[in-house]
Structures are given as structure tokens and as C-alpha cells.
Structure 1
Amino acid sequence: MSINIGRFSDTTEPTPEEQPGMVSEGQKPPELVYGSAEEFLHEQLLPTYVRDVDGRAAKWCTEWYFHPEAVSRIEALWRAWEHLRLDGATGISVWFRDHADHHMNVLMDPRGPFYKCDMQKHRDPEHLEPRKAPEGWFPDVRAIRS
């Protein structure tokens, strides 16, 4: 019996070359299912991670790509998914628990990166403007290692 959930499926134990992070010498790494974070968002993430986005309890911006934090988190979700999909035992559970639920809760939080937007209009986020620390407080570790 095979159950498909999005692009995850219950399979038998992966062979050594299919195990996450395991690529034998001379073998190519597994091919990606999706070619970009955007393709992953449209074809896997949003169709399977459905929530009521009412603007009060959850927010989303249709122009999510203008939000650097959103881009970074969606990229992280995609890369984690590509890695964990190879684990036929617990990959989907680990991905939802450790990645999707965490990052999507942050992204859709009313005070999250889309806090100024609504479903009809994007508004540029305000970036934090930190001051530079006094000289010498954070030495460049690349120079220390040399």
C-alpha cells in the first residue's frame, strides 16, 4: 500500500544512496523535486498548508517575495523539504513539526513580516535600523583565524 501526501509518500526504507545527506563517492545527489523556493511554495507548501487567513489571526501577503524574511523562511522550508522527503519513515512528520509549523506560524503571525499587508495590498516592511557597535566589540573572526 502506498499513500501519497503531496510529494511525500510512504516508501520502504531508503537505500544508502537515498538517505538524507548520504551520497556515496562518485554518485550524484538526489535530484530536486522543485527547481526554486517559489515553485515549492506554489506547488507543495500552500496547497498542503491551508489556513484561514483573515488578517486578524493570520496574515499573508500576495507579494511575499518583497519581504526578505519571508523569502529566507520559504527557502529554508523548501531546502528542508527536499532533504527530509528522502526519509520514508519520519521525514514528513519531522518536516511539519520542525519546519513547516514553526516557519508558517511566524510568517502568518499578525505581527510577523506581513504585519502591514493585507490580502489586497502589499506594503513595504519597515526594516530595523540598528546602530553599529563600538569599534572592537565584534572583531572579524576571519582575521583571527589567519
Structure 2
Amino acid sequence: MTNDFDLYDTDTLPPATKAQDAEKAPELVYGSAEEFLHEQLLPTYVRSVTGKSAKWCIEWYFHPEAVSRVAALWRAWEHLRLDPATGMSVWWKDHADHHMRVLLDPQGPFYNCDMKEHREPELLEPRIAPKGWFQDARLL
């Protein structure tokens, strides 16, 4: 089975399953991860971002990890908002607090940036493992 869902594609919803096709999916409140970030997340998740205890990049969208985490926050919010009992509590506790702590961490994805300037991060440079160490799970 292949997975065509791309974590960096924040505008396309994952493929629907047969069960989802049978019933109409609820309408989205926000049309994209960026809209969610500007209209919901950042207005409600207010922190002091001085660079010492928290960092943010003004051009956050150039950081693949940040894009993926904001998209995950958006998708989780859209799903959990439908639970009138504990949905928002679960979203804050399990999603927002976790991902925002990572995003704002001074050693996180924006470690090389500041509020006024984006700087390209140094990417991790892995070596390829010796042949045979990792089997292709699609072939098992």
C-alpha cells in the first residue's frame, strides 16, 4: 500500500476512505494551514518571543518542519473542534502545547532566525546506511 499524502502539502486533504465517502465530511473552518496560523493559532497562543526563551521566524514558511507542524495543528484542530466535550482541551494539551513548545524552542527549527530576518538553517547531513540494514517495508 502506498501513501500519497505529503506532509508538506498543506492545502490538499488526505485521500478519503470509503467510510468517509459514504458520509459528507464536515466543512473546514480554515482553508489552509496559513489561514489557521494567522486567524486562530497565533492570536490565541500569545507568548513573549525575545530570542532567549522563545524564537520565531518571520518567514516561518521557509522551514519544512514548521510548515508540517502548523499543518498538523490545523488538521488536529479541525477534527477536535467537532468534539463538544473535551475536543479543545485535547487539542491544547496534546497538540498545541506540544508543537508550539518545539517550534518556539531556541534550539528548534527557527534557531538561526530572529523576528526580523530569516536565515537558512544548516540541514542535518546523514550518511546512507550500509546496504541491507533497512528493508523496504513496501516489499515485505
TM-score normalised over the length of structure 2: 0.84
Partner amino acid, structure 2, of 1:88: P
Shift of 1:61: 0.4
Provide runs of 4+ in structure 1 moved above 4 Å.
none
CA change 1:25–1:48 in 2 (3 A) is same
CA change 1:139–1:26 in 2 (3 A) is closer
CA–CA distance in structure 1, aligned partners of residues 20 and 108 of structure 2: 41
Quote the sequence identity (%): 75
1:73 has 2:65 as partner: no
Unmatched 5+ stretches in structure 2: 1-18
Alignment: residue pair count? 122
CA–CA distance in structure 2, aligned partners of residues 126 and 37 of structure 1: 25
Q: CA RMSD in A?
A: 1.2
Partner amino acid, structure 1, of 2:24: K
Partner amino acid, structure 2, of 1:77: L
Shift of 1:52: 0.4
Unmatched 5+ stretches in structure 1: 1-22
Shift of 1:27: 2.3
Shift of 1:134: 0.3
CA–CA distance in structure 1, aligned partners of residues 99 and 68 of structure 2: 10
Partner deviation per Cα, 1:80-118 (whole Å, 9 max, x = no partner): 000000001001100000000000000000000000000
